[in-house]
């Protein structure tokens, strides 16, 4: 996994924001996944443009945090979302489906 990839949200995932945080429901597995405020913002950015470098750049503009920390947190969350089947990763240079 690297910043040179794009995250694509599974069509089987429902997103519901509640008070700045979010709950994701995977319709396929019927499991829930909770996101805090920062995770919710990352999810929103992935929905708009899943390019992980783009997501990181916006997060660094919006949050006062060391770039290494934000990158580590982004990659950790994307890794967990991928393991849960909520997103898939592909090369940023791959043509769209």
Return the CATH class of domain 5-86.
Answer: mainly alpha
> What does pTM read for this prediction?
0.88
- pLDDT score of 95 more than 80: no
CA dist., res. 92 & res. 24, Å (int)? 24
CA dist., res. 97 & res. 79, Å (int)? 22
Residue that the structure tokens 């829930």 belong to = 32
- pLDDT score of 66: 97
* pLDDT tens-digit map of 52-92: 999 999 999 999 999 999 999 999 999 999 999 999 999 87
In the structure, what pLDDT confidence band is assigned to residue 97 with cuts at 50, 70 and 90? very low
The domain ranges of the chain are 5-86
In the structure, what pLDDT confidence band is assigned to residue 12 with cuts at 50, 70 and 90? very high
Q: What are the φ/ψ torsions at residue 48 (nearest 5 degrees)?
A: -80, -50
């Amino acid at each position: 996994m690297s910043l040179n990839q794009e995250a694509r949200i599974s069509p089987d995932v429902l997103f519901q924001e509640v008070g700045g945080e979010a709950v994701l429901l995977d319709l396929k597995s019927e499991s829930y996944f909770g996101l805090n405020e920062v995770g919710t913002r990352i999810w929103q950015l992935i929905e708009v443009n899943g390019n992980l470098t783009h997501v990181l750049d916006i997060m660094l503009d919006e949050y006062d945090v060391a770039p290494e920390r934000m990158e580590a947190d982004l990659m950790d969350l994307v890794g967990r979302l991928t393991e849960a089947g909520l997103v898939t990763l592909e090369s940023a240079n791959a043509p769209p489906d």
